[in-house]
């Protein structure tokens, strides 16, 4: 049994992607009002992408509401085929709403540099002493744990898990549409209405009626396009590289006992890897950008320069670079040293890769639940066996390597013309 009140009147949020987000349950309304959920307003959904696509200022708050709304509609559609218990319905809605609650600002970069993982914080926010936990516990005692299990994919309720994290889930469907809308690109569009209408149950999984195959093909191609045109855009990655290097520099300086004009406060706990939940929740993008503003005035030239670059969008230039070119890499590295441009901060190889769709390969890393089609005779078939389009890109991982460097600084090497010419020459040759 779960305890849930209905609101006297339905509440709505105006939303540019779904037109309206509808809330009828007091539990959901109260979750949205918690300080941990409101914090998501201060974290951009796409990290540094706003430096490439200026419209990409949307927050994880709006995305989370969107995932909730898609889930609400899926559950509403499914009511005609099956009777969901009130508990299952509320679990699905709560997990959809909270699936990103553990994300911090620029979280991919933070996770990489400080070896954090947002899954751990998601669990702490749901199970720890938080407003979110207080609200969830009112439904029933077990409720927080059940929500956490669905998000962590350890729940026995496979159907709810797959609706939130599979190759066609409420999370992906919202972020593709939302990110396309806010970046202003047209690639991310697909027919959400149609997909929702052809979703069915089969045992404990979601399948797609075979007549809806083309809508799913479109969705997969959208995802493929969005990754390469938006998510892995080399300019956003340049900003990410600089962000990463700022954090590295601050960590290095702190360990050397450097006297900061603006000491890195709460960052200290990140350096030691012992971050408390309250410290983590304090962090949002305004907080970080405040420090970057201040650090522009530090005596340490590298830190000040990197912070100016990030704040004023003076990003690194880039070129294709094959990481197998070890000899070229070392030559460049030495040339940078000679020119007194610290290669550990100013010569960075960055790689991105994505697998647009994959069929089932048990036991492999990143094992994925495939998309199944429900055929007219009642059988299910894995999507890439039916769709030539999907078959063509299935299981094919594409990787992109780029070398980042401050071209402006190299061109300014007026006192060391020989080093400058050497580097410029090497960069010209070095591309693949």
Binding residues (CB under 5 A) for Ca ion: these are: 100, 171
Q: Which is nearer to Ca ion, 171 or 328 (CB)?
A: 171
Closest approach, Cβ 43 to Ca ion, in A, equals: 12
Helix extents (H) in 256-300:
267-272, 277-282, 285-295
Q: Which is nearer to Ca ion, 171 or 179 (CB)?
A: 171
Cα dihedral 299, 301, 307, 309, rounded to 10, equals 150
Q: Which is nearer to Ca ion, 69 or 100 (CB)?
A: 100
- Say if residues 123 and 148 touch (Cβ distance below 8 Å): yes
- Say if residues 167 and 7 touch (Cβ distance below 8 Å): no
Query: What's the CA gap between 417 and 359, in Å, rounded?
Result: 54
Closest approach, Cβ 218 to Ca ion, in A, equals: 21
Q: Which is nearer to Ca ion, 124 or 171 (CB)?
A: 171
Q: Which is nearer to Ca ion, 65 or 135 (CB)?
A: 65
Q: Which is nearer to Ca ion, 68 or 295 (CB)?
A: 68
Q: Find tokens 């959400």 and name the residue.
A: 192
Beta bridge partners of 203: none
Tokens of 122: 């998601």
Closest approach, Cβ 172 to Ca ion, in A, equals: 8
Q: Which is nearer to Ca ion, 220 or 413 (CB)?
A: 220
| Closest by CA position to 309, among listed 251, 245, 262 | 245
274: burial class by Cβ within 10 Å (0-12, 13-18, 19+)? exposed
Q: Which residue is nearest to Ca ion (CB)?
A: 171
Q: Which is nearer to Ca ion, 21 or 339 (CB)?
A: 21
Closest approach, Cβ 344 to Ca ion, in A, equals: 33
Closest approach, Cβ 184 to Ca ion, in A, equals: 20
Rg (CA), the chain: 24
Closest approach, Cβ 103 to Ca ion, in A, equals: 8
Closest approach, Cβ 280 to Ca ion, in A, equals: 18
- Say if residues 243 and 307 touch (Cβ distance below 8 Å): no
- Say if residues 164 and 151 touch (Cβ distance below 8 Å): yes
Cβ neighbours for 180, distance < 8 A, ≥ 6 positions apart: 186, 187, 188, 189, 222, 226, 230
Closest approach, Cβ 342 to Ca ion, in A, equals: 36
């Amino acid at each position: 049994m779960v305890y849930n009140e209905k609101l006297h009147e339905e509440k709505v949020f105006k939303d540019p992607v779904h037109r309206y987000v509808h809330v009828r349950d007091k539990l959901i309304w109260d979750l949205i009002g918690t300080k941990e959920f409101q914090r998501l307003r201060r974290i951009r959904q796409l990290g540094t992408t706003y430096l490439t696509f200026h419209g990409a200022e949307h927050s994880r708050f709006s995305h989370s509401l969107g995932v909730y709304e898609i889930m609400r509609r899926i559950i509403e559609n499914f009511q005609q085929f099956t009777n969901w218990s009130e508990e299952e319905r509320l679990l699905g809605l709560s997990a959809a709403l909270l699936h990103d609650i553990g994300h911090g600002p620029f979280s991919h970069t933070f996770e990489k540099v400080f070896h954090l993982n947002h899954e751990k914080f998601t669990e702490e926010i749901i199970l720890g002493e938080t407003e979110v936990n207080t609200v969830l516990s009112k439904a029933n005692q077990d409720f927080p744990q059940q929500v956490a299990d669905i998000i962590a994919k350890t729940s026995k309720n496979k159907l709810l898990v797959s609706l939130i994290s599979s190759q066609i889930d409420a999370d992906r469907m919202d972020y593709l549409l939302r990110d396309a809308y806010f970046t202003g690109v047209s690639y991310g569009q697909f027919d959400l209405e149609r997909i929702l209408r052809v979703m069915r149950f089969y045992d404990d999984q979601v399948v797609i009626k075979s007549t809806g195959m083309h809508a799913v093909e479109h969705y997969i191609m959208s995802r493929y396009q969005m990754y390469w045109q938006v998510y892995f855009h080399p300019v956003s990655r340049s900003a990410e590289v600089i962000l990463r290097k700022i954090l590295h520099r601050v960590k290095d300086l702190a360990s050397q006992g450097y006297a900061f004009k603006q000491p890195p406060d709460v960052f200290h706990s990140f350096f030691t890897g012992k971050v408390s939940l309250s410290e983590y929740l304090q962090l949002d993008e305004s907080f970080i950008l405040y420090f970057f503003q201040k650090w522009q005035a530090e005596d340490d030239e590298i830190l000040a320069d990197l912070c100016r670059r990030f704040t004023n969008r003076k990003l690194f230039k880039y070129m294709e670079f094959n990481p197998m070119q070890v000899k070229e890499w070392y030559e460049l590295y030495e040339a940078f040293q000679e020119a007194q441009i610290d290669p550990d901060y100013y010569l960075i190889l960055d790689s991105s890769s994505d697998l647009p769709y994959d069929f089932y390969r048990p036991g492999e890393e990143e094992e994925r639940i495939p998309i199944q089609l429900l055929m007219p005779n009642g059988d299910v078939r894995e999507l890439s066996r039916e769709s030539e389009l999907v078959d063509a890109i299935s299981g094919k991982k594409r990787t992109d390597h780029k070398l980042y460097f401050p071209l402006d600084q190299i061109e300014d090497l007026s006192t060391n013309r020989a080093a400058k010419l050497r580097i410029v020459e090497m960069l010209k040759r070095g591309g693949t």
